Homo-oligomer: A and B are copies of this chain.
Amino acid sequence: MKRLYIQEVATRDGFQNEKQFVDTDAKIALVNALSACGFAKIEVTSFTSPKAIPALRDAEAVMHGIARREGVVYTALVPNVRGAERALSCGVDEVNLVMSVSETHNRANLRMSRDQSFAQLREVIGVAKATPVAINVSLSTSMGCPMEGDVAVEEVLRWTERFAELGVHGVTLCDTTGMAFPSQVKTLCERVREAFPTLELTLHFHNTRGMALANTLAALSAGIDRFDASLGGIGGCPYAPGATGNVCTEELVHMLELDGYDTGVNLASVLSSAALLPNLIGHDVPSQILKAGRRLDLHDAPPMDAGGAPTQQAFAREGA
């Protein structure tokens, strides 16, 4: 069984977009429950300005409040030196930096040019490298920009290289708005792996156009073994109102388990945590496993002599 590494991002990538503030205690309880599920990494929160992302204004309290579990990497998103200092003061295991591969998305999302972002993140890397903390860079819009369209593989390679040269440990290729498709994913993953064989490479899919699990298969075929996923499939895309968000953790783990991979993750525990989400965030979540159950969560056969109205599926009733 091939070992895969699943990284849970719901409390950061999911909660950051939620209108309803999730209480600090509830966040801590959720991260603690997730810690028992077998994830390789948990992105706990984001050390951004509380004004920019009020949903995560309790980043310090959450990081300090959680019970760390041996073997789980606790990471947090960090936009700048200020955020890095806050994160380091909380003892994160990793800082996750973010910028977009496409200029327009970077300007729209981070309000600066890519070169300005890079300069700022280089400063952050300088601060983090003086500590034992790991450094990951998430490259947004690696598989397409909702404003520019296609993004060349060469652009992804170029930005990966710039960060690799600074000595980051890992890079996450993000399909920020769900524009990736399988053959593209396979080519991109092969090219990046070939160019940077020692970099810890993560794929971060969104299910905006229904392809997240198909794209996962494509990434697996290119040898990728590390995937971000979000409990319940929460985590929206501001450019696709009503569309689903990040690939759903329980749907991902369910498929990978069935296909014979060792995800390290206990699906039953994940489902228990996912079931708490609608109450925490005040609305239904995209997860289909949460509604339909796992494939072998079986149903009783209906009584054969039930009488009454025929079911809608009784195609042949008149012939019975």
Contacts and interface: CB of A to CB of B under 8 A. Distances in A.
A142 interface: no
Nearest to A143: B295
Nearest to A178: B292
Nearest to A305: B111
B301 A104 contact: yes
B79 A316 contact: yes
A108 B242 CA distance: 36
Oligomeric state, in copies: 2
B51 A298 contact: no
A107 B311 CA distance: 12
Query: Which has the most chain B C-beta neighbours within 10 Å: A111, A241, A293?
Result: A111
A7 interface: no
B181 A298 contact: no
Interface residues of A, number: 89
Contact of A298 (B55, B146, B238): B146
Interface in A228-260: 237-244, 248, 251, 254-255, 258-260
Given A210-B213, A317-B52, A238 B312 contact: yes
B237 A319 contact: no
Interface string A168-200: 000000000011011110000000000000000
A304 B111 contact: yes
A98 interface: yes
A320 interface: yes
A310 B49 CA distance: 10
Given A183-B260, A213-B211, A316 B254 contact: no
A120 interface: yes
A154 interface: no
Nearest to A289: B209
A288 to B, nearest CB: 5
B255 A211 contact: yes
A107 B292 contact: no
A183 B259 contact: yes
Nearest to A110: B316
B144 A317 contact: no
Contact of A242 (B52, B239, B291, B312): B291
B318 A82 contact: yes
B80 A298 contact: no
29 contacts: A51-B310, A52-B315, A52-B317, A53-B315, A79-B316, A82-B318, A82-B319, A98-B315, A104-B301, A107-B301, A109-B314, A110-B314, A110-B316, A110-B317, A112-B320, A144-B295, A144-B296, A146-B299, A147-B299, A147-B301, A178-B292, A209-B255, A210-B212, A210-B288, A211-B255, A213-B214, A217-B218, A238-B313, A239-B299
